[in-house]
Amino acid sequence: MISRSLHTLLLLGGLLGASLTAPVAHAGKTLDTIKQRGTLQCGVSTGVAGFSLADSQGRWAGFDVDFCRAIAAAVLGDPNKVHFVPLNSQQRFAAIQSGEVDILARNTTWTLNRDGALGLSFTGVTYYDGQGFLVPKKLKVTSAKQLRNAEVCVQSGTTNEKNLAEYFRGIGVKVRPVVFEGFEASFKAFFSGRCQAYTTDISGLAGVRNKEAPNPDDYTILPEVISKEPLGPAVRRGDDEWFAIVRWVPFALIEAEELGITAANVDKIRAENKDPAFTRLLGSGEDTGKNLGLDKDWAYRAIKSVGNYGEIFARNVGPESVLKLPRGLNNLWNKGGILFAPPVR
């Protein structure tokens, strides 16, 4: 944690230093820098099960991680040419502003203030989430409205902290926030019994419950969803070319799911299927890459390396993972969800 605080300071120092001395930065050229460097710098969380977590060999895995790998595959031709930079919630915006990372894929909520005032732009939504509460079953609480005078553990610097205050003020119930700087400290305090409830996005709650709890069955997620938390990647403002790439790779993966293209069958479909919708996406027909400054196989490589959106979901947060989250809103528009990719053409 010391090194993390130091890291925050260095980042902020770097930002300040860059602002102090550097000549005014010009828009553009993120793509060129990445190609020259040979790796994509991707800012992820310090460890949220299902979204971005490093294993014992230091290999990163997760939902956010896979989107970075997909973009690296599209841009550099190799999903492993990504350098993951773990960032806590205080460091993340400074890291993208100062240019330490090319893309911020760190389960970050898209809000007007962040889009408008922080010098960054969200490229879209990869996961529709909402904030909820985790409580010990022994408290016999069935609704957040019963949490009178409870203490709620929450991580600082998140939209969750603000939603918590607004929600309980709105329903006229008094609770006390206990605000931790680190994610680990926040849930450890909860599991030690310091707080009667823990709050974060529901996907995060599932991760904390299933991965960190001494016994997951002792805890339950309350039914209230108190906010909209659209999570998605963000890029530094001012480079429209790079923005378009980071926006369209996830769209291509959603489109792939809609067309039934998976990592396993993509080669076969590419060789056999002559339908323009397929050939455009897979680079075997009209060149869609040139509009993005990429080659025609950009989407093919992304799908081949991480699979379509549904595969990424299932592997990291869905039925094949410890989180077992339902697709819910994050299903395709024609299957009851709200994922709708604009046409890749």
Partner 1 sequence: MVRSARQRLLAFLAQLALAALIACALAWLGQNVLDNMRERGIRAGFDFLVEPAGFDIGEGPLAFEASQPLWRAFLAGTLNTLRVGLPAMLLASALGLLIGLGRLAQHPVPRRICDALVETLRNIPLLLQLLMCYFALASLLPDASHALAPAPGVLLSQSGLFLPAWRCEDSCGWSWPRVDGFGIDGGWALTPEYMAVLIALSLYTAVFIAEIVRGGIQSVSRGQIDAARSIGLRPAQVLRHVVLPLALRAIVPPLGNQYLNLIKNSSLAVAVGYPDLVSVANTSLNQTGRAFECIVIVMAVYLSLSLLTALLVNTFNARVALRGSP
Residues of this chain that bind partner 1 (CB under 8 A): 1-2, 12, 15-16, 18-22, 24-25, 89-90, 93-94, 97, 113-114, 116-120, 139, 141, 146-151, 153, 156-158, 161-162, 164-166, 169, 176-182, 185-186, 188-189, 192-194, 196, 236-238
* Alpha carbons 268 and 137: distance in angstroms, whole number: 50
Report the residue number, 13 or 342, with the smaller CB distance to partner 1: 13
What b/e string do you get for 64-73 counting C-beta neighbours within 10 Å, with b at 16 or more? bbbbbbbbbb
**Closest CB 196 distance from partner 1, rounded Å:** 4
* Alpha carbons 141 and 73: distance in angstroms, whole number: 47
For 334-340, the CB contacts below 8 A with 24+ separation are: 334/258, 338/128, 339/254, 339/309, 340/254
Report the residue number, 148 or 324, with the smaller CB distance to partner 1: 148
Residue type, 171: I
Spell out the residues 6+ positions from residue 79 whose beta carbon is closer than 8 angstroms to its own.
69, 70, 72, 73, 305, 306
The total of other beta-carbon atoms located within 10 Å of residue 135's CB is: 24
Report the residue number, 238 or 289, with the smaller CB distance to partner 1: 238
**Closest CB 281 distance from partner 1, rounded Å:** 33
**Closest CB 309 distance from partner 1, rounded Å:** 29
**Closest CB 204 distance from partner 1, rounded Å:** 16
The tally of CA atoms less than 13 A away on the side-chain side of residue 201 is: 22
Report the residue number, 5 or 279, with the smaller CB distance to partner 1: 5
Report the residue number, 236 or 301, with the smaller CB distance to partner 1: 236
Report the residue number, 68 or 153, with the smaller CB distance to partner 1: 153
Q: How far, rounded to the nearest angstrom, does the alpha carbon of residue 311 sit from its chain's CA centroid?
A: 16
* Alpha carbons 221 and 184: distance in angstroms, whole number: 19
Report the residue number, 16 or 171, with the smaller CB distance to partner 1: 16
Q: Is 129 in a helix, a strand, or coil?
A: strand
**Closest CB 99 distance from partner 1, rounded Å:** 10
Report the residue number, 15 or 254, with the smaller CB distance to partner 1: 15
Spell out the residues 6+ positions from residue 124 whose beta carbon is closer than 8 angstroms to its own.
232, 233, 247, 250, 251
**Closest CB 10 distance from partner 1, rounded Å:** 13
**Closest CB 90 distance from partner 1, rounded Å:** 5
**Closest CB 130 distance from partner 1, rounded Å:** 18
* Alpha carbons 30 and 196: distance in angstroms, whole number: 46
